[in-house]
Amino acid sequence: MHRLLYASLFSVVFTHTSTQAAELSVDLGEQSKGWSTAELLALPQMREIRIPADVSYKRAMSYKAIPVAVLLKSVKPDEHIQAIAADGFAAELPAASLLENKGARAWLAIEEPNQPWPALNKNGESAGPFYLVWENPKAGNIGPEQWPFQLATLRRLPPVAERFPALLPAADASAEVNSGFAQFQKNCMACHRLNKAGDSQFGPDLNLPHNPTEYFKPEFLSRYIRDPQSMRHWPQGKMPAFSEASISDAELNQLLAYLSHMAGRKTQ
């Protein structure tokens, strides 16, 4: 999945020890609230769910969870939600997918302090205290970058194109380039900026000073995205592998077309 060790852009209450619960910030503009672990577990919509193929743990997992839609009651399907992890990973999500109660369904998994989940890394950190997981993700074409763990904040924001015009392709860009922009938002923006535009605090900028299409041959860039370790053996590398189940060959070509297009649209 995404990073295992990737600071939020705004104040977040985020404490988690064996004796102290955490708090999730839900910022919907006029309606903002901090939800404690106890408050979330006490909601009547809380269920025990099983995720057969958990993206982070790479196996079946069971969680106490609530539908994410419960926290987004004032949000409309055509709006946009950003899910921010404690380390700055920032997933961009269309609200419609989070509000769906059929097909792919989003759940907020809640870790109880006295029943911690398995560790994800050598520091002993788990995917908790809050983790956005999906039932039947294939039904909604949900990618691995849309499973943010160590979740700290959900906030309603304008769409990416409105917030960051420096990411936009030219007005006369091809359909493939525009589709690639959508793939960039889904698969890359959680970790990377481009033209210094974006909210993520982890990965390098993909256009400044140089775009990867300027120093990678196309076939090698594709291979690098599919399996970074196959191109550069780097045990400390955090770039995940993007399989065909995550992004198809056609979608990958769209992404590369967008990146190549944006190499000619650098900001100063």
- Measured CA to CA in angstroms, residue 82 lies from 34, 73, 94, 152, 179 at distances of 16, 16, 8, 11, 20
Nearest to 254, CA basis, from 196, 188, 159: 188
- Measured CA to CA in angstroms, residue 47 lies from 62, 108, 266 at distances of 10, 10, 48
- The residue written with tokens 């919509």 in the block is 45
Which pLDDT score is estimated for 7?
Answer: 33
Residue of higher predicted confidence among 5 and 143: 143
pLDDT tens-digit profile of 219-252? 889 888 887 777 766 655 567 667 777 788 999 9
Residues 212, 228: contact at Cβ < 8 Å? Answer: no
pLDDT tens-digit profile of 65-88? 999 999 999 999 999 999 999 988
**pTM of structure:** 0.80
Which pLDDT score is estimated for 18?
Answer: 36
CATH architecture of 161-262: Sandwich (2.60)
pLDDT tens-digit profile of 89-132? 889 999 999 999 989 999 999 999 999 999 997 788 999 999 99
pLDDT over 50 (residue 188): yes
Which pLDDT score is estimated for 16?
Answer: 44
Cα dihedral across residues 142, 146, 151, 157: positive or negative: negative
pLDDT tens-digit profile of 198-223? 888 778 899 999 999 999 888 889 88
Which regions of the chain carry the CATH code 2.60.40.420? 161-262
Residues 14, 86: contact at Cβ < 8 Å? Answer: yes
Mean pLDDT, rounded, of the chain: 87
- Largest pairwise CA distance in the chain: 57
Which regions of the chain carry the CATH code 3.90.420.10? 23-157
Fold assignment, 23-157: Sulfite Oxidase; Chain A, domain 2 (3.90.420)
